[in-house]
């Protein structure tokens, strides 16, 4: 297991780009019907008449799509124990059908746990980008990394 990237291996400033999530109208509507049934997320016609001018994804759906990209590309090979939460989440631009989302993560801080010697918190500034390179969402995630045994 020593080939996994642990807390000690992470350096502030490290940048990681990944993703390529194709957003479809069907998925926007399916997510929103279950969790965020506001007209501009579930009803194409009503969305056209809204101030968004068309169907847009629930902001929480964009968060979920970010999580999927993180699971596919950022967690494998890393000794993570989940996340304790996030700060400063901003929904910057609407996410629409046909958008292709990617992620840019930058390590901004490492915090040693005061109560546990076996884990540390890594603060990661994440931006979800559209195919035009525009940020549609940003947040600072607080990810738990395991420390190398005996360090």
Among 38, 109, 111, 117, binds other proteins (CB under 8 A): 38
For residues 85 and 98, which CB has a smaller minimum distance to other proteins in the complex?
85
Task: Give phi and psi for 71, each to the nearest 5.
Answer: -60, -40
- Is 77 a binder of other proteins (CB under 8 A)? no
Q: For the chain, how big is the Rg over CA atoms in Å? A: 18
> Pattern 89-128, binding to other proteins, x per CB under 8 A?
xxx-------------------------------------
Q: Among the candidate windows 7-15, 79-87, 99-107, 121-129, which touches other proteins by CB under 8 A?
A: 79-87
For residues 67 and 106, which CB has a smaller minimum distance to other proteins in the complex?
67
Task: Give phi and psi for 119, each to the nearest 5.
Answer: -140, 160
- Is 82 a binder of other proteins (CB under 8 A)? yes
Q: Which of 130, 76, 84, 79 is nearest to 103 (CA)?
A: 130
Q: Which of 142, 93, 99, 103 is nearest to 126 (CA)?
A: 103
Residues 128, 36, 69, CA angle at the centre, nearest 5°? 30
Contact residues: other proteins, CB under 8 A: 31, 34-38, 58-60, 63-65, 67-68, 71, 75, 81-91, 139
């Amino acid at each position: 297991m020593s080939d996994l990237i642990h807390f000690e291996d992470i350096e502030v400033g490290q940048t990681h780009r990944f993703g390529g999530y194709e957003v479809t109208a069907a998925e926007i509507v399916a997510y929103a019907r279950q969790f965020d049934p506001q007209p501009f997320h579930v009803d194409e016609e009503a969305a056209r008449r809204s101030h968004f001018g068309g169907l847009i994804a629930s902001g929480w759906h964009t968060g979920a799509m970010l999580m999927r990209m993180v699971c596919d590309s950022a967690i494998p090979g890393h000794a993570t124990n989940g996340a304790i939460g996030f700060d400063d989440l901003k929904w910057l631009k609407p996410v629409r059908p046909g958008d292709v989302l990617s992620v840019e993560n930058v390590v901004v801080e490492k915090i040693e746990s005061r109560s546990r010697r076996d884990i540390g918190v890594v603060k990661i500034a994440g931006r979800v980008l559209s195919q035009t390179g525009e940020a549609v969402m940003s947040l600072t995630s607080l990810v738990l990394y395991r420390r190398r045994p005996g360090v």
